[in-house]
Amino acid sequence: MKIPKIIVTIAPTGGMASKKQNPHLPTQPDEIARDTYDCFNAGASVVAVHARRPDDGATCDPAIYRDINERIRAKCDIIINNSTGGGVNGDMVRQGPNGYWEIMWDERLKGLEGGAEMCTLDATTINASFEGRELLMNTPPSRCLELATKMKQLGIKPEWEVFSPTHILQDVATLIESGFDEPPYFINLVLGAHRGFQNAMPYSPRILQSMVDLLPKDCIFGVSGIGPAQLHSGINALLLGGNARTGLEDNLYYAQGELATNVRLMERLVRIIRDLGMEPATPAEARAIMGLPRCAAPAIVPNKLR
C-alpha cells in the first residue's frame, strides 16, 4: 500500500508575537534560518517566513526577506513561502488622517520581491484587534487581483489563505476560475483566530469539515490552527486528507503553561503523522505534489475582474 505523503509546514515567526511572550521566537535572519534548518531535519517540507526588522518590528522589506531566504537556501532545499500579510506593527502599520490604523498595502506588496517560490495570498479583508488598536487589512477584489497578477508574472505559487467560508467562495474561487493559478491549488484554512480577527472562524471539527466541503476541485489544503486549536486541527486535517502545519507563529505553547520551541512542535507533529501511517514529504516530493516550480507567464486580466 502506498504511504500518504504529507506536506508539513513550519511557521517559525509570524508577524504578531514577540520574544517577551516566548523567548524562543526567532526574529532575526540567522535565528529564523537556524530554526528552519532544524525543523527541516525534523521533517518540514515548507517554511512560512515572516520578516522582522532589527528591532523585531514586522516588515516585508525585500532586502530582509532575501537575507533570510539566502541563509535558508544555503542550509537546505526546503520550500520557502514569504508572507504578503506582514504583521501588526513595525513597517506594516500606519495611522490615517481619520485616526484609523491600517496594515499598509504598499508594504504588503514588497513581500513578493524576496525571491521566494511561494507567497501567501490573503484574498480577505479583516479587522484585527491588537494591543488596544483596531487594524484594517483592506484587500478588496482589485487588490486580490493585483496580488494574483503579480504572482503569475513572477512565477510565484500562491498559498491562498482563508479565514472563513466566504473567502473560499468569493475572491479565491473567482481568481482560480479566471486562470490566476494552476492546479493543484494550495489553500490554507486559518481557524481559531476569531478572537483577534473579525470575520475569522473558530476551530471545531464541524467548521473544518464544512470549509473543506467548499474547497474547489483540484486543490490540496492545510490548516493553521491558532493557539490551543493548533494540535487538534492539525490532526483533524490529516484525517480529512489534508496537510499539516505547526510553529510559533500560530501557537506559543507546547502544553498549557509550557512555552514551545519550533523544533519541539515539529517533532511532535511528525511523530503523530508517522503514528497515523503517513510520512512527511521531502521538499522535492512536496514540490511535485504542489506543481513547483511555477513558470512565470504574462497575466491575462479577465473582463469580469476589470
What's the confidence (pLDDT) of residue 298?
Answer: 41
pLDDT tens across 232-269, in order?
999 999 999 999 999 999 999 999 999 999 999 999 99
User: Range with the lowest mean pLDDT among 91-100, 112-121, 203-212, 275-284?
Assistant: 91-100
Q: Given pLDDT bands bounded at 50, 70 and 90, which one contains residue 296?
A: low
Alpha carbon 195 to its chain centroid, in Å, reads: 19
**pLDDT exceeds 60 at position 145:** yes
Model pLDDT, residue 98: 87
pLDDT digit string, tens, across residues 40-76: 999 999 999 999 999 999 999 999 999 999 999 999 9
Helix runs in the chain, H state only: 29-42, 62-73, 105-109, 141-154, 165-167, 173-177, 205-213, 229-239, 262-275, 283-290
What mean pLDDT is reported for the chain? Answer: 94
pLDDT at 297 over 80: no
Instruction: Note whether 15 and 197 are within 8 A (CB).
Output: no
pLDDT of residue 112: 97
- What are the residues whose beta carbons fall under 8 Å from the beta carbon of 62, sequence distance 6 or more? 110, 111, 113, 114
What average pLDDT score do residues 215-244 get? 97
At the topology level, CATH places domain 5-291 in TIM Barrel (3.20.20)
φ, ψ of residue 249 to 5 degrees: the values are -55, -40
pLDDT given at position 269: 98
d(CA 95, CA 103): 9
Q: What is the gyration radius of the CA atoms in the chain, in angstroms?
A: 18
pLDDT tens profile 163-194: 999 999 999 999 999 999 999 999 999 999 99
Residue 55's Cα: distance from chain center in Å? 23
Burial (Cβ within 10 Å: 0-12, 13-18, ≥19) of residue 298: exposed
The count of residues in the chain is 306
Locate the domains of the chain by residue range: 5-291
pLDDT for residue 304 is more than 50: no
User: Pairing mode, if any, of strands 126-130 and 133-137?
Assistant: antiparallel
pLDDT at residue 305, rounded to an integer: 37
Which pLDDT tens digit goes with each residue over 1-18? 789 999 999 999 999 999
Which pLDDT value is given to residue 131? Answer: 86
What average pLDDT does range 287-291 have in this prediction?
Answer: 97
% of the chain with per-residue pLDDT over 70? 96
Least confident of 138-142, 242-246, 295-299: 295-299
Q: Render pLDDT for 22-45 as a digit per residue (tens, 0 to 9).
A: 999 999 999 999 999 999 999 999
pLDDT score for 205: 98
Residue 137, Cβ neighbours under 10 Å: how many?
Answer: 21
